[in-house]
Chains A and B, each alone.
Chain A
Amino acid sequence: MPDPIALPWPSRQGVVSVGDLLARTAAGDTAAFSALYDRVAPAVFGLVRRVLRNPAQSEEVTQEVMLDVWRTATRFNPERGSAHSWILTIAHRRAVDRVRSEQASADRTELAGARAVDVDFDQVADTVTTRLDVEQVRRCLGKLTELQRESVTLAYYNGYTYPEIAERLGAKLPTIKARMRDGLIRLRDCLDPAQGG
């Protein structure tokens, strides 16, 4: 029988990690999956909604993502990154694929990349951890050049392809590709590891 699962989040001490919960999910433990859902669903739903905008579609895609996590938990390879990133990677890919296939480009014309950093603190699980993460990401995004930041955020939050972004920002294709990579490298170096999965 699975152990009772400690409540997620607030203190890091004694809390089961997302990676552990995913490992137990892979063994078919539905209680672990339930706890995993509580841990990751706000990030998944928030991200999907940011990309898709449409609330009904966002719910649908979030459900698909969580079912995919359940179904493919056995395939997660911890050597290639944290469980949290793995889940958000699935979420982002699905949201982006959906926005490209179903939403008219008119829905995405708003240039919202730079403003995407606004977050409603009251709605997010109000924990010190989340706040610190948000502050840190905001600070690190601030260290990017304008073009790096716009390239990264328009792609990540709005689901644009790099040619769409190049056109929108009036830049050359290789420039945008390079800025995305440079921007992410700078972001990585600023964020550094030190956070568990």
Chain B
Amino acid sequence: MTDPDVHTLAGPYVLDALPAPERTRFEAHLKDCAFCRTEVDELREAAVKLATQVAAPPPPHLKANVMAAIDQVRQLPPQVWGEDAPAERRYSRRSVLALAAAAVAAATAGGVAIDQYRRRSEQTEANQRISAILAQPDARTVHGAVSGGGQATVVTSARANAAVVVLKDLPKLPAQRTWQLWMIDTSQQAHSIGLATGDETQVIDGNVTGKATFGLTIEPAGGSPSPTLPAAALIPLT
């Protein structure tokens, strides 16, 4: 606050023109400087007006993508103590993790059991394993539509060689059929990672590191040694 220069930073800050280290420092300063906050808020209203000059309609399909995707994104609860950072300061990795966590939460909150045959303590353990995978620094989330309806979300961590698969709104299969999950490596070799009866969340241990694609197929009950094509979903993992 004693540095006279700090107030001129409101300009470059509002224009997102501060290099990363200075941005961080100025944001720390903003917490203690009510005057600076007011100035930032005022200048920001002017800066965003510059966007009106370049407005352009997005391609129509984008809205469909966004509306489909919000289904997978849980909203933040209003006000969290100890978190006063405005939303615009969130970084993409946090968003990815939130998205993944949201997907898992949506699947479980939707009345879908992690594994309906497990006891409660085992479910808690499964939740802990899910959290551990989501917390990996290299955790990545991918989504894809399942042909015939529904969505698959896969969170992978190459480091942990583990993944979380969330299947949602899948079409119902006849009794003699099952969903089968695959991890496909770069040479197109498919490795079975499990079966699914319908909407569920699974933890996958192993067969994740180095895999290029997640696949979902419909197989005869009991599963197949190799996927029956065409796949219901193929989702690139990178």
User: Which residues from A are CB-within-8-Å of B121?
Assistant: none
User: Which residues from B are CB-within-8-Å of A172?
Assistant: none
> With contacts A156-B47, A174-B5 known, is A124 near B55, CB below 8 A?
yes
B48 and A84: CB pair below 8 A?
yes
Identify A161's interface contact among B18, B44, B51, B92, CB under 8 A. B18
B11 and A183: CB pair below 8 A?
yes
A67 and B69: CB pair below 8 A?
yes
User: Which residues from A are CB-within-8-Å of B49?
Assistant: 133, 136-137, 187, 191
A85 and B17: CB pair below 8 A?
no
> With contacts A37-B63, A123-B57 known, is A85 near B48, CB below 8 A?
yes
B50 sits at the interface (CB 8 A): yes
> With contacts A37-B66, A177-B8 known, is A74 near B75, CB below 8 A?
yes
B17 and A119: CB pair below 8 A?
no
Mask, A130-143, CB within 8 Å of B = 1, is 10011011100100
> With contacts A89-B44, A89-B88 known, is A71 near B51, CB below 8 A?
no
The docked-state distance in angstroms from the alpha carbon of A97 to that of B52 is 21
User: Which residues from B are CB-within-8-Å of A193?
Assistant: 45
The docked-state distance in angstroms from the alpha carbon of A68 to that of B92 is 10
B237 sits at the interface (CB 8 A): no
B70 sits at the interface (CB 8 A): yes
B15 sits at the interface (CB 8 A): yes
B90 sits at the interface (CB 8 A): yes
Count, chain B residues at interface, CB 8 A = 58
The docked-state distance in angstroms from the alpha carbon of A188 to that of B47 is 8
User: Which residues from A are CB-within-8-Å of B42?
Assistant: 188
Q: How far is the CB of B154 from chain A (nearest CB, A)?
A: 18
Which residues 46-85 in B have Cβ within 8 Å of A in the complex? 46-59, 62-63, 65-67, 69-70, 73-79
User: Which residues from B are CB-within-8-Å of A90?
Assistant: 87-88
A114 sits at the interface (CB 8 A): no
The docked-state distance in angstroms from the alpha carbon of A98 to that of B41 is 23
Identify the closest chain A residue to B51 (Cβ): A47
Identify the closest chain B residue to A184 (Cβ): B43
B55 and A130: CB pair below 8 A?
yes
B10 sits at the interface (CB 8 A): yes
> With contacts A71-B95, A174-B5 known, is A49 near B77, CB below 8 A?
no
A11 sits at the interface (CB 8 A): no
User: Which residues from B are CB-within-8-Å of A183?
Assistant: 11
A64 and B75: CB pair below 8 A?
no
A147 sits at the interface (CB 8 A): no
B73 and A180: CB pair below 8 A?
no
A159 and B16: CB pair below 8 A?
yes
The docked-state distance in angstroms from the alpha carbon of A136 to that of B46 is 12
The docked-state distance in angstroms from the alpha carbon of A63 to that of B57 is 13
Identify the closest chain A residue to B89 (Cβ): A93
A75 and B15: CB pair below 8 A?
no
B14 sits at the interface (CB 8 A): yes
Which residues 164-197 in A have Cβ within 8 Å of B in the complex? 165, 174, 176-185, 187-188, 191, 193
B98 sits at the interface (CB 8 A): yes
User: Which residues from A are CB-within-8-Å of B88?
Assistant: 86, 89-90, 93
B86 sits at the interface (CB 8 A): yes
A57 sits at the interface (CB 8 A): no
B87 and A68: CB pair below 8 A?
yes
Identify B54's interface contact among A28, A37, A46, A77, CB under 8 A. A46
Identify A81's interface contact among B18, B44, B74, CB under 8 A. B44
Q: Would you mind naming 5 contact pairs between A and B with Cβ atoms under 8 Å apart?
A: A45-B58, A71-B73, A71-B74, A71-B98, A74-B77
Q: List 7 extra interface pairs beyond A71-B75, A124-B57, A187-B49, CB under 8 A.
A: A38-B63, A44-B58, A81-B45, A97-B91, A133-B52, A180-B11, A185-B46
